[in-house]
Amino acid sequence: MKRTIHLYAASILLSVLAVFCLSTVARSQLDIEDREKAGLFAMVQNGKWGFVDRTGKTVIAPGYDAAHPFTEGLARVQLEGKWGYIDKKGTMVIKPQFAAADRFSDSLAEVSIGGKFTYIDRTGKVIIDARFDDSAVFSEGLAGVKIRGKWGFIDKTGKTVIEAQYNDVQRFSEGLAGVLVGKKFGYIDRTGRMVIEPKYDFALPFTEGLAPVVIDKKFGFIDKTGSIVIKPQFRNANRFSEGLARVQIGRKWGFIDKTGAAVITPRFGKVNRFTEGLAGAQTGKKWGYIDRSGSYVIDARYDFCDPFFEGLARVQAGNKWGYIDRTGKYIFEPTE
């Protein structure tokens, strides 16, 4: 199951990508754009997972070994080493049976069966034969799949739309997908046509019309024509969210706008993306939340924090996790 940048690609950038791979995004339960406004939030008590609502009230009692946020009305849960799916009432609609499983996207979810990867529908029915060595979630109607060492794309019927020919692929976003040809990344459209030629050492998906790319170990941003909009100059960078992108200069992180102007001067150890007007930022070893001026509105007192979503954010205190509102008040006290 495609989780992170493949080692083949990561080795290209050495220390540059090492920093990226340790970015805070990897620690979040799910990218914000992939979550749905379900009004339910995964929590853990005494080592078991359940869900609370926005008030902190338990809606689905803790009883799972692991749980992930809801997407398309269903949430992944694990019991005794197997993954299944529950609905918002806590009813097990797809019994735990998969060694690995991912979220629902475009009405399908990728799962592992017998060491191969495939896709199921919302009833748990296998829609596409389990024949892939690796796979990714569907996005914009297509999913990346790996066959005999190469990646291509299939549609929701399992038909090959773009032949397996790439060393790595990213999901489609805003009509384009990053692909690795040899040792360089470019972008293709949904027909497989190379829209932006492979010439980047690394590349991330498009958001808000721009994509971070690496040239000579420096991050910059391009538009959908491949034109450089913000020249490569950053040690690290990530995608735009709410008009701002995270960038690293030296060892410090800040934010730029779409012209490349520094909106928040790099001065934080790490940062999360902006969501709902706030971003997690680390000073010393503690995390808090800043506004678009770069000022802390929730003091740095947490060991880690996730982006805000539906008015709440998951925060870590020691080995415990809880949820706070935009004032920093605990809605659900930290538990483990």
Instruction: Give the burial string for 250-279 (b: 16+ CB within 10 Å, else e).
Output: eeebbbbebeeeebbebebebbbbbbbebb
Q: Of 326, 321, 298, nearest to 28 (Cα)?
A: 321
10 Å Cβ neighbour count for 84?
Answer: 21
10 Å Cβ neighbour count for 181?
Answer: 16
pLDDT exceeds 70 at position 165: yes
Rounded to whole angstroms, the Cα distance separating 130 from 114 reads 8
Evaluate the CA torsion angle 258, 262, 266, 267 in order and state its sign. negative
**In the chain, what percentage of residues exceed pLDDT 70?**
90
C-beta separation of 306 from 289 below 8 A: no
pLDDT tens-digit readout, 14-60: 444 444 433 333 333 445 556 567 899 999 999 999 999 999 999 99
DSSP state of 140: T
C-beta separation of 298 from 289 below 8 A: yes
Q: What global pTM score does this model have?
A: 0.89
Report, as an integer, the average pLDDT of 126-136.
95
**Three-state secondary-structure class, residue 8:** helix
Task: Write down the domain spans for the chain.
Answer: 275-336
Span 275-336: which CATH code? 2.40.10
Burial class (CB in 10 A: 0-12, 13-18, 19+), 129: exposed
The two tokens of residue 24 are: 């805070």
Q: Of 130, 71, 141, nearest to 106 (Cα)?
A: 141
pLDDT tens-digit readout, 286-299: 999 999 999 999 99
The two tokens of residue 115 are: 């060491």
Report, as an integer, the average pLDDT of 157-162.
97
pLDDT tens-digit readout, 208-254: 999 999 999 999 999 999 999 999 999 999 999 999 999 999 999 99
Over its C-alpha atoms, the chain yields an Rg (Å, rounded) of 20
